[in-house]
A and B are shown apart, each in its own frame.
Chain A
Amino acid sequence: MNFLSPWFLAGAALIAGPIIAHLIRRVTRERQQFSAMRFLQESPPRLSKRSRIQHPLLLALRCLIVAVLAAGFARPFLRTEIPLLPGTGTPQSVVVVLDDSASMQRAGLWPAARKKITDLAASLKDGDQFVLFVASGGVTEVISRETWLKTAADGRTDLVRTALAARSPGWGPTQLDSAIETAVIQWEQMAEATDSTARKKLVVVSDFAAGARIAGLAGLPWPKNCEVALETLKPDHVANAGLQWLGWAVGPEAAPAAGVPARNGAPPKAVARVRVVQSAGEIAPVLSLQLRDARSDRALGPEQTLTVPPGEAQVALVPIPADAPDGPLKLELTGDTENFDNTLWLVRPTPREVTLSYYGAHSTDDLKHARFYLERATAGWKDPVVKFRAMADPAPAAVPAAANDFAVVAEPLAADRVKTLRDRLAAGGFALVLLNEPAMVETAAALANETGWSSLTPKLAGAGAQPHALLGKIDFQHPLFSPFADPHYSNFAGIHFWSPQSLLLPAASKAAVVARFDDSSPAVIEVAVGKGRLVVWGGEWSTAAGQWVTSTKFVPWLQSLFERSVGGAVRPSVSEVGDTGRLVTGAAQWRNALEAGTTYVNTAPAQPGVYELLEEGGVARLVALQVPAAESNVMVVSPDDFEKLGVPLRGGAGVAGVADAGRAPRPPPGTQTSAVLEGRQKLWRWLLVAAAGLLAIESLFSYALARRESGAPAPT
């Protein structure tokens, strides 16, 4: 019999209550009042053989009730239901997950982790199996089961020691859930390959910082006969201060009048917003921030001093001085004992530029052609910034190819100009052809480098009023129309086209029809030409040709068209290690902007810093990778959180955790499993029922005694 809350057994001391009551009652009851006491003398006390305690059976009953209640509150359970782990002769399968996230960079953690794992490996028997994973963002197998089994028994400890010596903590986030899940899968494979009765042990070696992701552990199918041991590492310094990137200040915060100091009278280029986080603990509250040039390490601007009390955070505004270089910057935090999260890399996003080449001899005030509307619709854009260039007069060969060339063809082109434009398209340019007359079909076909395209005039409906065509079928999956995919914005039926033009595409055409008129003739098509793309719009863009240019969908559609020409929608330039999905979706090439020669192709860098990111079909841009902000939160996750997620925790011999400072004392080994056992058995319910029964018996018994003493017949 074991107890989950044995301190409640102290309540059994209340047994003294009934005993004292039985002693006291005897004295108090036997009193006699008399009038002629004057004539009485005190009698010498007689020796009585009878016990001083009245009604010993009743007293025993009452003591038993108290004892049963105390035992019930102590929540007893029977240990015998625990599946006893096999003895030392039974092989065991040990999977070790080593956290090598950024927070493990703290002093004292990594050597402790290496020693702990090496000791664990040394304690294993010959028939035991051992697998070592490291987890930081992704999961990497350091020592596989096969490697372990191939190694001679006396060399296995060295194998582990060597493998760990070659590694150092990374910079990624702590994603313990995916690491444990991978380990469990591996474990099941081990179990299938070996004796299924083998003792299964999963050891997680980590600092269990509060920023660790463990939510994915919920609902994880745990195999039977397993146990999870949490090995908490203790760092040299409990406290930590960190820097977190919030973004560039906008609005009043960016203005010099808002308190941001201007240097030498010149307003700052920009203002960076960062958050300085202090963990709870003994730590100096005074910290300082210094902005530096990331390339030359030159200090920029004065040092900024902050006072952040422990356990709190403070947002700081860091102005970028006017004389700061345009290249990458870094912000350093000093005054903290743990340096892994004390540097922020800053990259100011540079707006993308698009050169809009308009092919058409139309004046800028001509309301009947697209130039008038294009110039006005694209004016003032922040990203991409559109530079308009008329292509009517200059000779095509004399025009230099722009970095991001976007051509709008509004009149039939000569063959040489078509060739020049097609070459630009093949090199990665973007072109839009407006079918404002049937002759434009030839130009479009020539640009698409296809044949067999013919002109087609869509049927107009609404003959009674002004006849018009509508956009009937739109592919909202296509990037051109995806901004309108939401049903709130997908209604194009209100836009009338009074002079639409369409074309008849041959069956062999590679053109994709993005939208069709209501008579099913193509309205918008897109053709890939080399690395570039050609979009053909069926009709002129003018108020005389239809309502398209005056509709609310015109400018958003143009925005998506131009963003598509420069590589897609605006992307952030700052992210965290292990979270590069925000920066780039497809294949890309990363080049370290600070260290020449370090290039990552199709794989994201694992270190914080400034990188030049070149996406396929896009332009190169500078991005910054920071240490994950969650890693700065070094408070320790409670084992209770794991238990709530269903992790079968067990602190067995040899896997006892190291209690961390500032953390609640770890429950004694076996407590978690004991709670589960107790929860299953629920012996306390039976004890409470027994106490209630005893209470009823006691009531009847004492009632009968009282009746007997008072002379009344006891109830039968």
Chain B
Amino acid sequence: MPPSTTPPPARGIDPQALLAIRDLELRARVVVEGLWTGLHRSPYSGFSVEFTEYRQYSPGDDLRHLDWKVLARTDREFIRKYEEETNLRCLFLVDTSRSMLFGSHGWTKADYARTLAATFALFLHQQRDVVGLALFADGIADYVPPRWRPGHFRRIVAALEREPSGRDTNLAHALGQAALLARKRSLIFILSDFLSPVAEWEAALGHLTAAHHDVRVVQVLDPAEQSLEFGSAAVWEDMETGRQLYVDPQQARAAYREKFSAHAAAVRAAFDARGVAHQVVTTNQPLDFALLELIQPRGAARRFGQRRIQL
């Protein structure tokens, strides 16, 4: 029997096991470690930062940058010169509104989105890329400017670990603020459920893309939100507005799916129209797969609107 050429089915990290880890940083490191092992053969030409050149030491230079090995070997003083910043500035926009607190599997969309953001931030941080973070609900509530410096990742993780205090989602406002904050051309990841009407934020998204930012969207959804295979006949309450309705899911399921599909199509159309890479992840999906999908087609997506990141 010839050996099978079929690759083994991909097995990612079980989200339940991953999200059981309380420490967000540790969670991110678990994912990123696996990610590096999967990437080590990839011809991925990164945009990491190395030193650029040596120059002769002159009095007054900071001795921390003196290359001691060269001094030992050649008995000459050289100062290592580095690139001031990387070629990639990355800003994560993470939705912290109440609707993100929904979860039908024991963990919420917010947990998933925070883990995703932290993991990707760690990945970029390890590549010496400049990473920033903005948490938003009805506006940007928390902002960590894009930097690269030792301990910066911890600041990001600390911001992500804060309990969300927002209630309503005002994506348009948040995107407008982000456009003001990101002055330089950046890679902007938006992690949200995008459940609000498309018309509310479509224009703001256009402003971001018009500013030549590389905007990529990760739409985090709960499987129950897609199928409404969830709950029982009861009084249902909107997590953001508090509006209450008596809902029997068996009766409401068909109409819900229809409306939700229409909304999803509208969202997709809005992103496609503006060349925004759009990826839908559900919270029962392995997280590392989602991450791989995000980072692998990067080269192909250099041109805005050329292709959409797909799962």
Residues of A within 8 A of B (CB): 27, 30-46
User: A33 contacts B236, CB within 8 Å?
Assistant: yes
Nearest Cβ on chain B to A108's Cβ, whole angstroms: 74
User: B256 contacts A32, CB within 8 Å?
Assistant: no
Q: Which A residues are CB-close (under 8 A) to B239?
A: 33-35, 37
Contacting residue for B195 out of A31, A33, A38, A46, CB 8 A: A38
A-B pairs with lowest CB-CB distance, top 3: A35-B102, A37-B238, A35-B99
Produce 1/0 per residue, B214-254, CB < 8 A to A: 00000000100100000111111111110101111001100
B residues 48-79 near A (Cβ < 8 Å) are none
B193 interfacial contact with A, CB 8 Å: yes
Tell me the nearest residue of chain A to B100, going by C-beta. Answer: A35
User: B248 contacts A36, CB within 8 Å?
Assistant: no
User: B245 contacts A46, CB within 8 Å?
Assistant: no
Nearest Cβ on chain B to A44's Cβ, whole angstroms: 8
Contacting residue for B233 out of A35, A36, A46, CB 8 A: A46
Produce 1/0 per residue, B256-288, CB < 8 A to A: 100110010000000000000000000000000
What are some 9 contacts across the A-B interface (CB < 8 A)? A33-B237, A33-B238, A35-B225, A35-B240, A36-B102, A36-B225, A37-B243, A39-B255, A41-B256
| Contacts known (A37-B238, A37-B241, A43-B247); A32 close to B193, Cβ less than 8 A | no
Nearest Cβ on chain A to B199's Cβ, whole angstroms: 13
A38 to B99 Cα, complex, angstroms: 11
Other A-B contacts than A32-B237, A39-B263, 18 sampled, CB-CB below 8 A, are A30-B234, A31-B234, A32-B231, A33-B102, A34-B237, A35-B101, A35-B222, A35-B239, A35-B240, A36-B225, A37-B236, A37-B241, A37-B245, A39-B260, A41-B245, A41-B252, A41-B255, A43-B245
User: A34 contacts B246, CB within 8 Å?
Assistant: no
User: A40 contacts B235, CB within 8 Å?
Assistant: no
- Residue of A33, A36, A43 with most partner-chain B CB within 10 A: A36
Contacting residue for B256 out of A27, A35, A39, CB 8 A: A39
A39 to B224 Cα, complex, angstroms: 13
Give the B interface residue count (CB, 8 A).
Answer: 34
A44 to B222 Cα, complex, angstroms: 26
User: B243 contacts A43, CB within 8 Å?
Assistant: no
Contacting residue for B245 out of A27, A35, A36, A40, CB 8 A: A40
Secondary structure at the B interface, as helix, strand, loop or mixed, is mixed
User: B235 contacts A34, CB within 8 Å?
Assistant: no
User: A43 contacts B237, CB within 8 Å?
Assistant: no
A31 to B236 Cα, complex, angstroms: 6
Nearest Cβ on chain A to B255's Cβ, whole angstroms: 6
A382 to B121 Cα, complex, angstroms: 121
B residues 168-200 near A (Cβ < 8 Å) are 193, 195, 197
Contacting residue for B252 out of A30, A33, A35, A40, CB 8 A: A40
Q: Which B residues are CB-close (under 8 A) to A37?
A: 236-239, 241, 243, 245
- Residue of B109, B231, B238, B260 with most partner-chain A CB within 10 A: B238
Nearest Cβ on chain A to B146's Cβ, whole angstroms: 30
Tell me the nearest residue of chain B to A27, going by C-beta. Answer: B235
User: A36 contacts B260, CB within 8 Å?
Assistant: yes
User: A40 contacts B256, CB within 8 Å?
Assistant: yes
Q: Which B residues are CB-close (under 8 A) to A30?
A: 232, 234-235
A27 to B237 Cα, complex, angstroms: 13
A37 to B260 Cα, complex, angstroms: 10
User: A42 contacts B246, CB within 8 Å?
Assistant: yes
Q: Which A residues are CB-close (under 8 A) to B247?
A: 32, 34, 40-43
Contacting residue for B235 out of A32, A35, A38, A41, CB 8 A: A32
Q: Which B residues are CB-close (under 8 A) to A46?
A: 233, 248
Nearest Cβ on chain B to A342's Cβ, whole angstroms: 83
A46 to B235 Cα, complex, angstroms: 13
- Residue of A31, A33, A35, A43 with most partner-chain B CB within 10 A: A35
Tell me the nearest residue of chain A to B245, going by C-beta. Answer: A42
| Contacts known (A40-B247, A42-B245, A42-B246); A34 close to B236, Cβ less than 8 A | yes
Q: Which B residues are CB-close (under 8 A) to A32?
A: 231-232, 234-237, 247
